[in-house]
Amino acid sequence: MISVKNICCIGAGYVGGPTMAVIAHKCPDIKVTIVDLNAERIAAWNDEDVNNIPIYEPGLAEIVKSARGKNLFFSTEVEKAIDEAEMIFISVNTPTKTYGVGKGMAADLKYIELCARQIATVAKSNKIVVEKSTLPVRTAEAIKNILDNTGNGARFQILSNPEFLAEGTAIDDLINPDRVLIGGDTDEEGQKAIEALVNVYSNWVPKEKILTTNVWSSELSKLTANAFLAQRVSSINAMSELCEKTGADVNEVARAIGMDSRIGSKFLKSSVGFGGSCFQKDILNLVYIAKSYGLKEVADYWEQVVIMNDHQKKRFATNIVKTLYNTVSGKKIAFLGWAFKKDTNDTRESAAIYVADDLLNEQANIAVYDPKVEESIIYRDINYLGTRAAEENKQGIEVLNDPYNACKDAHAIAVLTEWDEFKTYDWQKIYNNMKKPAFVFDGRNILDADKLKNIGFIFQQIGK
């Protein structure tokens, strides 16, 4: 049996940081070192005030505090950590390609390849290499080719261990997972490697929740899971548009179909659209894989999920303009929320970015408040689109640290993140300080429509 006493994780991001922190917390006899070339990020993970760590997740700071400096370490010494570890997790970014073959759809694997080459160069003893990043099916084959043909004679086993975390509930998802999926080779050495990782997780996860498969099934399962979840969001959003035209209420429709045991109620909440780093990226990756195998109909089917999501964001912005008498030029629109979902400071692919971009094109003035997203990130996000010069975006968007100031003198409010605190505001006070008539566009369907209408707001929700 392979005994794992030292784990190295390459990548201190949204997956690597929380996952390794929980492993260290639950396995005090295993030394866990998270490495990253980004010295600023590592310094933030090592900040004396644990509340300043770079990722906000409920419960994460407490987990990090319990293990940091004992058996959990954050470092920029990548080669040292690789050399010492028996098991190495690769948890680096795999963004959608912005160049070359597969541009706009395929996963960019350059960081994965760099990791593999560095491991091969440094490793002098046998290693288990674990894919934690979301990867296209059969990526493990490419990693193994690099490791076996570039290294110092060390032997490598490649495992796929995809994450199924939902940001905002990542710590609970790690401590009480629905399942842990581990894929590896079916030969004796592959099974021993699988067993070594099973033994790590079995410190706190019941054995019946740890599923083992071949490596290809594991890689494809992650893409499939995200595609199915995103499909449900796009499906209910498609119905929300039909509800608006027919007079039906999408929330009532969702409740009715959600009570069908064959369908279930999860991911049936209509909204301005899904965001985050995974759904769109993984579906586009799936589309590209299908196209590369000549499966046009399969590719078209999944691509429609993304098309519907983009349409929902565009439709939300268009509805704001139409409702405000077909012009928002010079009008102040308050954005409540910039993160792609509540309880996270992650803004990747957030609907707020694209709604803001559309409204800036209409010469609106946007005031943004988000409880956890920093001002610099908001400007970075909108500048990244490249629609306008950075100075123009700076003039069009104001970021405030108080929601009441953000809404003061606004013509309308757009709710773009479902932060619980928005439900607790003194909406009468907000209304009194807005331009009249005052509008609320609830893109997340979290506010009490009747209550706000009684105050005087002209209120619109998705699907109503």
Q: Catalytic positions, please?
A: 278
Whose CA is closest to 350, among 271, 429, 425, 296?
Answer: 271
Decide if 319 contacts 279 (C-beta within 8 A): no
Alpha carbons 95 and 433: distance in angstroms, whole number: 43
Decide if 12 contacts 203 (C-beta within 8 A): no
Alpha carbons 3 and 192: distance in angstroms, whole number: 10
Decide if 92 contacts 112 (C-beta within 8 A): yes
Gyration radius of the chain's alpha carbons: 24
Give the contacts of 433 (CB within 8 A, at least 6 positions apart): 404, 407, 408, 409
Tokens linked to 318:
């268009």
Whose CA is closest to 335, among 394, 411, 413?
Answer: 413
Q: Which helix (H) or strand (E) holds 65?
A: helix 60-67
Tokens linked to 362:
């209409």
Return the SS3 of 261: coil
Tokens linked to 109:
């694997």
Give the E-state strand segments of 11-148 in sequence order: 31-35, 72-75, 87-90, 127-131
Alpha carbons 198 and 194: distance in angstroms, whole number: 6
Residues shown for the chain = 464
Decide if 113 contacts 141 (C-beta within 8 A): no
